[in-house]
Amino acid sequence: MQVDLKLEIEPYQGLAGIQFGMTPEEVRQVLGNTVRTFRKSPSDALETDYFDALGIQVFYKQPGVCDAIELAAPAKPTLKGKDLLGKPFSELCNWFQSIDSAVAIDETGLTSHRFGVGLYAPFAAIAPDEPVEGVIVFEQGYYDC
């Protein structure tokens, strides 16, 4: 199946075609079987799916269901129709602040708990006009300790 790389984020649901709670098999049916799996750390119980050609990583929690999706080029994640990758961090930071008054900003990006989205810009603190390199979309409670 050909996947459109422009993917609209559905806050706390997933994004076009991939929903939180899906099993690896269901995700692979949507994205195709050209997947590489790995463990982010030796202590991780579950593997992460990496669809390199699509720029998509899918993370799983027990009992083996999707709880977060990370995107990089060539994927084109959007929120409310706005492109989130490749744009200057400062521009997207200003936009997020206009739609989420509680957005959390740090030295490498931001997290919007209102929309279940995080942006990764490795040099956000020292070079805010550098582009956003990664987007994470997560389910409710993903960052709860």
Least Cα distance to 116 among 84, 90, 142, 78 occurs for: 142
CA–CA gap between residue 125 and residue 15 (Å, rounded)? 28
Q: What is the pLDDT of residues 25-83, one digit of tens each?
A: 999 999 986 899 888 878 778 999 999 999 999 999 999 999 999 999 999 999 999 99
Give the global pTM: 0.91
CA–CA gap between residue 136 and residue 41 (Å, rounded)? 18
| Residue type for position 49 | D
Q: What is the pLDDT of residues 97-131, one digit of tens each?
A: 999 999 999 999 999 999 999 999 999 999 999 99
- Residue 29's SS3 state is helix
Per-domain residue ranges for the chain? 6-67, 76-138
The single residue listed with the structure tokens 């987007």 is: 135
Average model confidence (pLDDT) across the chain: 92
The single residue listed with the structure tokens 């919007």 is: 112
